[in-house]
Amino acid sequence: MINYILFRTGHLLSISLPLKVAYAIGITFSLIKYYVSPRDRHAVLGNLKKILPIAEHHKIRIYAKRVFVNFGKYLVEFFRFSYLSKDGLGKEITIKGLENVENALKKNKGVIVLAAHIGNWELGGVFMGLLGYQISGVALPHRNPLVNAFFNSQRKRMGKGGMDVIPSSGMAIRRVYEALRKNRIVAVVGDRDFTATGKLLPFLGATKIIPRGPAVLAMRTGATIVPGFVFRQGDNTQILEFFEALPEFKNEDEAIEACARVIEQKIRQYPDQWLMFREFWKE
């Protein structure tokens, strides 16, 4: 219940105050969390030690603080989804590589957007909805039903019919198959395995269980995997970039490996935007 009250309070402040003020409050609370939450701080520091080259380890606490700051900004933006409109295209967000999604949709077998907990990944789905794309997002339900309902209402708020949220439990697989059969876009984060059925692979310098979901779905449905990530810029504008579609693979293992390599590359490129507050390799 406390988390629900905190999120609702953050939402109220974010939509009531100018964006710069809301950012300042979000950053302040995030830095407080950095200092008063040793579990989260140690998790982020441990993750960064795996990602950053040894030559950068003397800056590791600077990077860690940036992770917390970026999370604070992410929350403010998430709370302010009701302010987004098509007019923000080119101002708040620039979209690159949209032709990769368009070309994949022409196959009429659905598109799996391979995402990760990088930048403001939620923003990408909302803006695709604003542009009129039929998009579904697979999301891990929050334990608190009130928090879960609040987050899903934010995700569904915008776009043509809103973004369809598919909980990663229950009938998720059936709903994903249905969405792909309708040639919808299905966004899946591929950097955490929530099912304990993934594949153990080298990942960012250590071994980690990587989700099978995107690869298995593509192999079984013929859907095309298009990597897509949202990257924050120095002025807090965003770039939603879709990369070249992954090729068809001979087997699931090859597909899983390819998905892992794409995500690994982007995390190394933007380590302070990987919003992972768990000890990733100890889960």
Give pLDDT tens digits for 217-274.
Answer: 999 999 999 999 999 999 999 999 999 999 988 889 999 999 999 999 999 999 999 9
Stretches in the chain below the pLDDT threshold 70: 88-89, 156-162, 170, 283
Instruction: Note whether 165 and 241 are same-domain residues.
Output: yes
What pLDDT is stored for residue 170 in this prediction?
63
Give a yes or no: residue 67 inside a domain. yes
Instruction: Note whether 29 and 151 are same-domain residues.
Output: no
Give a yes or no: residue 282 inside a domain. no
Nearest CA-CA partner of 129 in 103, 155, 100, 105: 155
Number of domains present in the structure of the chain: 2
Instruction: Note whether 148 and 57 are same-domain residues.
Output: no
Give a yes or no: residue 281 inside a domain. no
Boundary residue ending a domain (79, 111, 144): 79
Q: Which domain holds residue 116?
A: 85-274
Instruction: Note whether 58 and 93 are same-domain residues.
Output: no
Give a yes or no: residue 280 inside a domain. no
Boundary residue ending a domain (41, 58, 79): 79
Instruction: Note whether 57 and 117 are same-domain residues.
Output: no
Strands 164-167 and 135-139: parallel
What pLDDT is stored for residue 7 in this prediction?
79
Instruction: Note whether 154 and 124 are same-domain residues.
Output: yes
Instruction: Note whether 241 and 149 are same-domain residues.
Output: yes
What pLDDT is stored for residue 58 in this prediction?
92
Instruction: Note whether 210 and 101 are same-domain residues.
Output: yes
Instruction: Note whether 215 and 91 are same-domain residues.
Output: yes
CA distance 238 to 233: 6
Pull the structure tokens for residue 161.
């019919």
Instruction: Note whether 206 and 252 are same-domain residues.
Output: yes
The alpha carbons of the chain give a radius of gyration, in whole angstroms, of: 18
Element (H, E) at 1: none
| CA distances in angstroms from 233 to 91, 198, 238, listed in the order given | 12, 32, 6
Please work out, in degrees rounded to the nearest 5, the angle formed at the alpha carbon of residue 125 by the alpha carbons of 171 and 244. Answer: 100
Sign of the Cα pseudo-torsion (153, 125, 265, 193, in order): positive
CA distance 121 to 123: 5
What pLDDT is stored for residue 90 in this prediction?
72
Instruction: Note whether 44 and 119 are same-domain residues.
Output: no
